[in-house]
Amino acid sequence: MLSLIQIKGIRDGLLITLDGAAWPELATAFVKNVDERSSFFQGARVALDVGVNELRVAELSTLRDQLSERGIALWAVLSESPVTVRTAQNLGLATRLSKPRPVQFREVAEELPEDAAKWVKGPLRSGGRVLFEGNVVVMGDVNPGAEIIAGGSVIVWGRLRGVVHAGAQGDEKAVVCALEMAPTQLRIASEIAISPKKQGKSQPEIARLKDGQLVAEPWQELTGR
């Protein structure tokens, strides 16, 4: 039964994946496992990944109560089933870990050439959304309320004021360039940043991940001109 339960340490405590059997057995097996190793689990914060299991409020709240009796705080439930996600939300549990899961593109090209880019004629206005698995080039402004999600890098020949997620499938080498960098929010891979209040004249900038930190630097400094 133990193989049904995988335990992983994450930043916010333990991530426990329950899979490979139907629900009542899984829950029983998990609680039994907890009882056997109570010193390990004592005081733990636990996120549960229940896979495709469809859980109703009664089932999930029973498990939560059983865990809390054993000194374990259940704070999140991850699931592929929308029913379970709704149940978890109804119980006030988180349904995702703090970092967004990598974006899944619906139509993934078989083998996208590295230089493939989507050409977008701007301005990209509020409510406009570009989702592309490769690089994205916008000729014009990206206004507040617009959103670009790219598997690769994003280049904006204009003012970037909307939301951009580059490297959305986890590519940490992705960059974002804009003639004026003032995004509402900028994401590269799993890092999220908001742009600081700018003073003075704006200049072309490039944003990238440096040692896990999202940094934006003026283009001139990089090219040494």
Partner 1 sequence: MTTKVVTIASGKGGVGKTTSVANIAVALASRGQKVTCIDGDIGLRNLDVVLGLENRIVYDLVDVIEGRCRLRQAMIRDKRLPELYLIPAAQTRDKTAISPSDMVRLCDELRPEVDWIIIDSPAGIERGFKNAIAAADRVLVMTNPEVSAVRDADRVIGLLEAEEKGPAALVINRLDPAMVKRGDMLSVADVLDLLAVELIGVIPEDENVIVATNKGQPLALDGKSKAGQAFQNIARRLMGEQVPFMDLGSQNLFQRLLGRK
Segment contacting partner 1 by CB under 8 A, of 4-12, 122-130, 131-139, 215-223: 122-130
Tell me the closest approach of the beta carbon of residue 192 to partner 1, in angstroms: 21
Binding of partner 1 by 126 (CB under 8 A) = yes
Contact 57, 87 (CB under 8 A): yes
**Phi, psi at residue 219, to the nearest 5°?**
-65, -40
Tell me the closest approach of the beta carbon of residue 176 to partner 1, in angstroms: 20
Binding of partner 1 by 118 (CB under 8 A) = no
Which pair of tokens denotes residue 152? 């690769």
C-alpha to C-alpha distances, 194 to 15, 62, 176, 177, 207, nearest whole angstrom: 28, 40, 13, 15, 12
Segment contacting partner 1 by CB under 8 A, of 9-17, 78-86, 118-126, 148-156: 118-126
Binding of partner 1 by 127 (CB under 8 A) = yes
Do you find a cis peptide bond into 123, omega within 30 degrees of 0? yes
Binding of partner 1 by 128 (CB under 8 A) = yes
Closer CB to partner 1, 123 or 167, in the complex: 123
Binding to partner 1, residues 151-170 (CB under 8 A): 161
Binding of partner 1 by 71 (CB under 8 A) = no
Tell me the closest approach of the beta carbon of residue 115 to partner 1, in angstroms: 29
**Phi, psi at residue 198, to the nearest 5°?**
-95, 145
Name, in order, each residue with C-beta under 8 angstroms of 36's C-beta and a sequence gap of 6 or more: none
Binding of partner 1 by 20 (CB under 8 A) = no
Name, in order, each residue with C-beta under 8 angstroms of 38's C-beta and a sequence gap of 6 or more: 70
Binding of partner 1 by 194 (CB under 8 A) = no
Binding residues with partner 1: total (CB under 8 A): 10
Which pair of tokens denotes residue 73? 């705080």
Binding of partner 1 by 24 (CB under 8 A) = no
Closer CB to partner 1, 96 or 198, in the complex: 198
CA distance 19 to 6: 8
CA distance 75 to 47: 6
Binding of partner 1 by 143 (CB under 8 A) = yes
Q: CB-side exposure of 7: number of CA atoms within 13 Å?
A: 12
In the complex, which residues of this chain contact partner 1 (CB under 8 A)?
A: 123, 125-128, 141, 143-145, 161
